[in-house]
A and B are shown apart, each in its own frame.
Chain A
Amino acid sequence: MSRNRKKYDSPLIVGSWIRAVLLCLLLGGTAMGYVWQKSQIHQIGTEVRKKEMRLELLKGDNEGWQQVRAEMRSTQNLYDRVRKLGLGLAMPQPEQLLRLSDLPLDAKELKQSKPGEYRTVANKPRRKRP
């Protein structure tokens, strides 16, 4: 009987051991997972912070370049550059302007253009030869 009992006890003990080990593994794994997760959160947080700082620096750089561009495009600077480089640029005189007045395509009468006025004329499709 005692043998039989031993026979019956043995699987029970092994099962308990397995359960205990599994439980330990589960607990250990959970703990490890928790720590790993926390570590990941911390790591990601650090990365986020770094990226935010980088973004801030880039924004600062961007603003700096925008300011440089604004200064270069400022009217005063452009006039100074024109003068300094001796480009001889000046406002266009009225006689240097050609004014084009587009006539609507369905305009039946082409009025005589005024002296000094240039007009565009709509291209009419050529008639096909019969």
Chain B
Amino acid sequence: MILVSLITAGYVGLGVRLVDIQVLQHDKHAAHALDNTRRKVIQASRRGDILDIRGTVLATSRIAKTVCADPSLMGTHQQLVARAIAPFLGRSETELAKRMQRRVYTDAEGRQREDKHVVLKRKVLLEDWRGITNALAHIEFGVDVKSQPRKERLKYYNVRRSVFCERVDSQLRVYPSGNLAAHVTGFVGVRDPEGSSVPMVGLEGKHGVEIMLDSELEGVRGWRETETDRSRREVVAFREYNVKPRDGMNVVLTIDANVQYIVEKGLEALCAKHTPASACIVVVNPQTGAILALANRPTFDPNKPGDSSAANRRNRVITDVFEPGSTFKIVAVSGALNERVVRLHDRFHCENGRLYFAGKVLRDHHAYGELSVREIITKSSNIGTAKVAMKLGASRLHKYISELGFGQRSGVPLPGEVRGILHPVRSWSKLSISRIPMGHEIAATPLQLVMAMSAMANGGNLMRPLLVDRLLDRDGNVVMQYKPTVVRKVIHDETAQQMVKTLITVVSAEGTARQAWLENYTVAGKTGTAQKPSKTRRGYEPDKYFSSFIGFLPAENPKLCIGVFVDEPHNGYYGGVVAGPTFKVIAEKSANYLGLEASMPVKPMSEQKPRVVLR
């Protein structure tokens, strides 16, 4: 009787427990069971490549793994595991073994927990991960594992699976050309997963085109809802949703890697000779506004952006402003010619190098007497330019300055572009009309200056800088083609032609940029040598200069507009002396590379003296 009662009670107890588990606690256990088997896997999309106009890869991506370890499964075999995987991770055995030591941490609720997820290295390439799994599978423990009891065998098995990779793949961004066009391509960083409900391990643009076209490059992540078995292997039959990732688009830039290389080499040579605080060069096609090359010094390697300072990563072509100096004289003179207040052969007296105006003295570097408007540009006379500007008037001068793009962003798709400084006419002092035409009391970015010079070269159209030529999908189909855009027509064609003729004389024996003269191409351009404003007191630093030369070629049908800007050069400071030779080297090599038609008939090789070309 007692036995029957006990059995009955037992059955009743089991029944109650069954009801408790299956009915009362159903939701909790069902969720737990589901949690054990259900997996939501995020599939990373491949970040698109960045290519130059000829298809040279400037940035590409590779799928990579984040390698982790669970020290609780290792027992005392940390050193052994470290020895096996260290060659693939590029870390020392000691460092890895130390990292894989068992440790506890206190969670948010104040409980002590063992750390079972130690990140050993991020961005490990697939072939290295394959090497790691292979090395772990063949790890030697010094005993015959198969002959061990089941419990012991399980321990060794756990050691082999103690190193694993995260479920979501990461990517490794590679810049095969190193620092070539580093300020254009920019670099990437790890996406901040803060505030995201799903694990989002991915790359995020941090600078350059990488950040400006981040959404186009990134693509769309895929995801999969599936179930796993006891060994955490996916059971494909239980896949419910499987949304494939859509890879990011490839971005084709207007940059030409070869021209960029020529520019980088020219810039290196310039920096070696003049040791400036910084220097930058921009090469633009004046007809389209397409940027063919853009380089800065100091620079950085986008493969290791952390190794460089923020100053090195700054794209000075658009983020730094300078008083441009004499290169700015083209604005006042072109404006005056366009308004027909002066003609090229009109003559102005240049006061023998000293003009008293508004209580201050305006000086020329040489004592000039009477000069024509053309000669004012050729000789770069400050007094002559000031007199031309006075004839034009402050409001019209301001109009031409702003219409040529100064005081506003050019719209180049790069981060951090500044407007420059252009004060409204009402804020101008009496002196301003004599100072602004020669590039003082105004600040502009190098890119603004090059685009303004391009407007002179192409017949008076201010172009929007074009950096991205097209977007391609993974199959190479064009998704978006960017067209050259005319921002506005600033000066008439005839005025532009007059300016070109005038600027050609600058690069002649009488001009300030004879060092920029080329044998086979007619070059037009303007030099600039500006003293730098003092940061500590009023006025200018006596021996700090900003030297520049902006020129274009062939002058009659320009295909290249090159701006060379040097901040605080040593061993000379005149724009023609510092920037001119670099312009010459870059212009000659780039024109030869692009196969530009020579401006004048070229002597056949048989008639030329043999010469050695050293490059």
Contacts and interface: CB of A to CB of B under 8 A. Distances in A.
Interface of A: 41-42, 44-46, 48-49, 56-57, 59-61, 63-64, 66-67, 70-71, 73-76, 79, 90-97, 99, 114-116
Given A76-B261, A95-B604, A48 B236 contact: yes
A93 B598 CA distance: 10
Contacts of B589: 91
B57 A75 contact: no
A79 B615 CA distance: 10
A79 B593 CA distance: 14
**6 closest pairs, A vs B, by CB?**
A45-B236, A60-B126, A70-B57, A91-B592, A70-B176, A94-B598
B381 interface: no
B257 A75 contact: yes
A95 B592 CA distance: 10
Given A71-B176, A75-B257, A64 B601 contact: no
A94 B235 CA distance: 67
Binding site secondary structure of chain A: helix
Interface in B12-48: none
A97 B591 CA distance: 12
A6 B260 CA distance: 107
Interface residues on B, range: 35 or more
Interface in B214-230: none
Interface in B49-91: 56-57, 60-63
A115 B602 CA distance: 8
Given A42-B237, A91-B592, A114 B601 contact: yes
Contacts of A114: 601
Nearest to A68: B176
A91 B233 CA distance: 58
Contacts of B258: 75
Contacts of A70: 56-57, 60, 174, 176
B605 A75 contact: no
Interface in B513-533: 520
Contacts of B593: 91
Contacts of B479: none
A45 B130 CA distance: 23
A67 B613 contact: no
B234 interface: yes
Contact of A74 (B130, B177, B520, B591): B177
Given A75-B260, A116-B604, A94 B60 contact: no
B62 A60 contact: yes
Contact of A96 (B61, B177, B605): B605
A92 B56 contact: no
A63 B176 contact: no
Given A59-B63, A114-B601, A73 B56 contact: yes
Contacts of B346: none
Nearest to A52: B236
B60 A49 contact: no
Contacts of B597: 99
A7 B608 CA distance: 127
19 contacts: A49-B233, A57-B126, A60-B125, A60-B127, A61-B127, A63-B62, A67-B174, A70-B56, A73-B176, A74-B178, A74-B180, A79-B261, A91-B592, A94-B520, A94-B591, A95-B605, A96-B605, A115-B601, A116-B602
B360 interface: no
Binding site secondary structure of chain B: mixed
A44 B235 CA distance: 10
Contacts of B176: 67, 70-71, 73-74
B520 A64 contact: no
Q: Which of B127, B176, B520, B605 has the most CB of A within 10 A?
A: B176
A76 B236 CA distance: 47
B603 interface: yes
A116 B62 contact: no
A119 to B, nearest CB: 14
A95 B589 CA distance: 14
A92 B592 contact: yes
Nearest to A93: B592
Interface string B580-615: 000000000101110101100111110010000101
A76 B180 contact: yes
Given A64-B125, A71-B176, A76-B177, A97 B62 contact: no
B603 A95 contact: yes
B178 A76 contact: yes
A69 B258 CA distance: 17
Contacts of A67: 60, 62, 174, 176
Interface string B177-199: 11010000000000000000000
Contacts of A46: 236
A46 B363 CA distance: 85
Nearest to A42: B237
B519 to A, nearest CB: 8
B56 A41 contact: no
A63 B605 contact: no
A75 B56 contact: yes
B125 A116 contact: no
Contacts of A95: 602-605, 608
B236 A75 contact: no
Contacts of A91: 589, 592-593, 615
Contacts of B126: 56-57, 60-61, 64
A63 B261 contact: no
B89 to A, nearest CB: 17
